[in-house]
Structure 1
Amino acid sequence: MQSIRDRIDRRVLTPGSRLPSVRAMAEAIGFSKSTVVEAYDRLAADGVIRSRPGAGFYVSAPLAPLSLDRIGAPAEREVDPLWMLRQSLMGPSEALKPGCGWLPDDWLAGGPIRKALRAVARSDADGPLTQYASLLGSPPLRALLARRLDDQGVGAAPDQILLTESSTHALDLVSRFLLEPGDTVLVDDPCYFNFLALLRAHRANVVGIPMTPTGPDTTAFAAALAEHRPRFYLTNSASHNPTGATLSAATAHRLLKLAELHDLVIVEDDVFADFEDTPAPRLAAFDGLDRVIRIGSFSKSVTAAIRCGHIAARPDWIEALADLRIATSMSGNPLSAEVLHTVLTDGGYRRHIEGVRTRLARARARTIERLRKIGITPWIEPAAGLFIWARLPDGLDAAKLARAALADDIVLAPGNVFSTNGMWSDYLRFNVTMSDDDRVSAFLARACG
């Protein structure tokens, strides 16, 4: 009975689908025919299935709401991307979170945000407080984003930018725009774990490409293009999450040549752009937003409480994405856009982010030193960003270590949650801003000793 309910929950069996015959089901799952008959009868009594005399049993129950954590084999669900998100977001307030993906409160722009909120509240214009946003979102913010993109070498006019609720919302819109269930998407392996959870929700077939310190392995990338004919490739080019790698110009050139050859769209997530001292190569810059879609937000560098992301793409795609946005969420958040624009145009924010970069450099150095003393080896030494991707000694299982750490109110990020096929099982991702704590080091020393 549970097996059949699980198939219905996972959409393998939908209303009107015919169940296997009693004989076929008995042979498939190893129970006797009488047991299968009893299970079918009980499910029919519950209204889950119905019998059609002479024709068999059919699913009658309406579909339950989609439950992402029930997709896949139970062994894959124990410590997976959704487990990681739940631990990061729902753990006790006093928990240490070296595995999370954001800055601590005292690193964020609290002063400029409060100043911006007061300025917006005092403004004579009521629109941001009372009205829907315009079709593409706040014109002043889009103009500012266009100038910031130009500083990274990405040429985009304001009407090539669509504001969204966040970079995750941006990726969701792009996925709705580009994907049909069953389409293949290429991702880096490892990659940001919520990429995997979101693509799972879109019923995509996700294929991982091994990551190197200068970007994805282009030989494996070419082979995957030929074998899978993917719809798009999703990546971070700068301050890669979780590895901290930086895309090289040579790798970018090769990727774009392959994308052109195979008519591949590339989606480039650039949410960590503000943490770079010098802009790294961007696929969107080399491509000119022809087949590259650039998404981003300021939830990591300004505040997660102001939900405002963006999509930059060629004009015809922006027009279609704006229509899709209307259909799914009507309008953006003009209040968030106004506050964010006020923060970004205040001179205090520039000084704030320069200070954050300096603190990050010091925190990376301290975290690497602490990890090496314990015997945990960084994959590379990143030039920028929040993360250190590091290998545990003696092949220790990072997922088991992460579960054990919860007992000490420590949230770690095990390597398998960043992988399409559970690789990197002896790696952890460390957020350098939350790893410089003696309690974290003491736990890791005991676990690795």
Structure 2
Amino acid sequence: MDLGIDRQALVPVVQQIVSAVAEWIRKNGVSPGTRLPSIRQLALDNLLSQSSVIEAFERMVAQGLLASRQGSGFVVAQPPTLHEGHWYEGAEREWGAFADNPLGELKLGCGWLPDAWRESDDISYAIREVTRTDTAGLFNYSTPLGLPTLREQLLKHLTRLRVATSLDRILTTAGASHAQDLLIRTLLKPGDSVVVETPGYGNLYRQLAFHGVRLLEVPRTCGGPDIPALEVLLQRHRPKCLFIHSLYHNPTGSSLCRAVAERLLELAACHDFLIIEEDVYGDLQHASCTRLAALPHEDRVIYVASFSKTLSSALRVGYLSASVTLIEQLASLKTLTGFGTSRFAEAVVATLLANGTYRKWVQRLRKRLRTEMAATLQVLEDEEWEVFAVPAGGMFLWARPGRADHSRLQACARRLGVLLSPGALFSPTCEHSEWLRINVAYAADERAVALFRDMGPTRSTSTILKTTGV
């Protein structure tokens, strides 16, 4: 078995082995119970150490891809008969299509990084450090504002981003969605109006609707919210808040420009509303950018961020920065509704921030995403897809085929085993749209390339399947 290991790649060798073996199983339709080549033979054929192959196989056992048989080595695992379901935006509307299947469909529009990109060794090391040095983290609640050592690291991080804050202005949360929920409960009541971008993050729409909040839609442009449209809304309504995704917007990938940012702050002061700025993808930046929280704003901007997208969604560590008065209110609600956040998870993230591991990880991640972004944009251009914006970073593209044919697109995706995130999932009213969110971390997969080409201007399906080997 030729694993095609690239020793110059940014991806660790162990993760390359995991990805290559999983792809070999999927591509060849290998049946459960099939024995894999011996560890010694696989290492010899690919000039690898046996320890690397063993670690890779053990990871695949933990993921449910392989099983270890006494005296028989490793075999392809039997898929579970009961499925918990692998969720991402919109999954609750089409649950049957999202069953947990390790060798199944390509989630081209999902909102996170592929498992093969993850660097679990660093997290494992941080976990060992925490269990060795902070046993209280295994048993005790965190403090109302969050673990002090983590908040100190967050203060340093925000200072580097030029976000003016202090320790008493920082509150940790169980991810960005938890932060948004605390803000909605504290700042809003049923019947209040808020402005949201469209397209935008579907879960935020549902959170607001659950609390009876009225949504006022403002179109997202390549440089941020459509200012003329927003001004019309402000003349007709008195919204309490504006929810905005400044950098590498989900789903369009666009970022806020300076002129729009300054005008937003002027309007917030004039019309007396708060701006809730989400920045969960901001650590992926590799170019100059504009954050509202980094500009003078007189406490009108509430900054929300998280490590779920860049580090680990399992740790569920997020945070927000706001005025001291609001932080005190949020901390009380946080304690009342959940007795705080996970001290253990916060200690792990604090360790990764303090020892420089997180900084080095996101540097590698930016470089890899930049490469994948350029390659995906080139394929889409070649196949005459329309792209909403050319992102300066991040992981998302908002695009649609030049030959818009929704039924044909869906049929092609089903045939190729590709799950899409269509535009309706990013609309407050679920309005049909031919735009798709594309996660470039998945776009190099042959099934994605076949989809792009099949919806291009000239090639036939038979030609696509033949040239890609699908």
Question: Which of the five TM-score ranges fits, normalised by the shorter chain?
Answer: 0.7 to 0.9
Does the CA-based 8 Å contact 2:89-2:110 persist in structure 1?
A: no
Aligned to 2:428: 420
1:151 matched to which residue of 2?
160
Offset at residue 408 of structure 1 (A)? 4.1
Query: Any idea what SS the aligned residue of 1:349 has?
Result: helix
Answer whether contact 1:185 1:206 (CA < 8 A) is retained: yes
Q: Secondary structure at the match of 1:102?
A: coil
Equivalent of residue 454 in structure 2, options 417, 441, 446? 446
Once residues 414 and 403 of structure 1 are traced to their aligned partners in structure 2, the CA distance between those partners, rounded to angstroms, is 14
Which structure 2 residues correspond to residues 23-422 of structure 1 after superposition, within 5 A?
81=90, 83=92, 90-94=99-103, 95-123=105-133, 125-288=134-297, 290-397=299-406, 401-402=409-410, 405-406=413-414, 408-422=416-430
Alignment-derived partner of residue 433 in structure 1? 441
Residue 413 of structure 2 aligns with an amino acid whose one-letter code is A
* 2:308 alignment partner, SS class: coil
Alignment RMSD, CA only? 2.2
Instruction: Measure, in 2, the Cα distance between the counterparts of 1:402 and 1:178.
Output: 41
Q: For 1:184-237, what per-residue CA distance to the aligned partner results, in whole angstroms no more than 9, with x for missing partners?
A: 221111112222222222222112111111111111111111222112111111
Q: Give the direction of change, closer, same or farther, for the CA distance of 1:82–1:182 in structure 2 (3 Å limit).
A: farther
Question: Who is 1:23 aligned against?
Answer: none
2:386·2:399 contact (CA, 8 Å) conserved in 1? yes
Q: State the Cα distance separating 1:392 from its structure 2 match.
A: 2.0
The 5-angstrom pairing of residues 2-21 of structure 1 reads none
Cα distance in 1 for residues equivalent to 2:314 and 2:112: 12
CA contact (8 A) 1:173 1:321 kept: yes
Consecutive unaligned residues of structure 2, counting only runs of 5 or more, are 1-87, 458-470
TM-score w.r.t. the length of structure 2 is 0.74
Instruction: Quote the offset at 1:128 in angstroms.
Output: 0.8
User: What's the offset of the Cα at 1:285?
Assistant: 1.5
| Rounded Cα–Cα distance in structure 2 between residues aligned with 1:88 and 1:434 | 18
Query: Is the 2:195–2:243 Cα contact (8 Å) retained in structure 1?
Result: yes
Map Cα deviations across residues 82-120 of structure 1 (whole Å, 9 max, x no partner).
547958964522221110011112323312101101111
Change (3 A) 1:136 1:279: farther
Q: Which runs of 5+ in 1 are unaligned?
A: 1-78
Q: Which amino acid in 2 is paired with 1:385?
A: G
Identity %: 36
| 1:268-287 deviation line (CA, Å, top 9, x unaligned) | 01101110013511111114
| Alignment CA distance shift 1:128-1:214 (3 Å) | same
Letter in 1 for 2:375: R
Displacement of 1:447:
4.7
Runs (4+) off by over 6 Å: none
Q: 1:176/1:272 Cα in 2 relative to 1: closer, same or farther (>3 Å)?
A: same
Q: CA deviation at 1:288?
A: 4.4
Shift, 1:349, TM fit: 2.9
The alignment of Structure 1 onto Structure 2 pairs a total of residues equal to 369
Normalising by structure 1, what TM-score? 0.77
Cα distance in 1 for partners of 2:220, 2:191 equals 24
The amino acid across from 1:372 in the alignment is E
C-alpha displacement of 1:406: 4.4
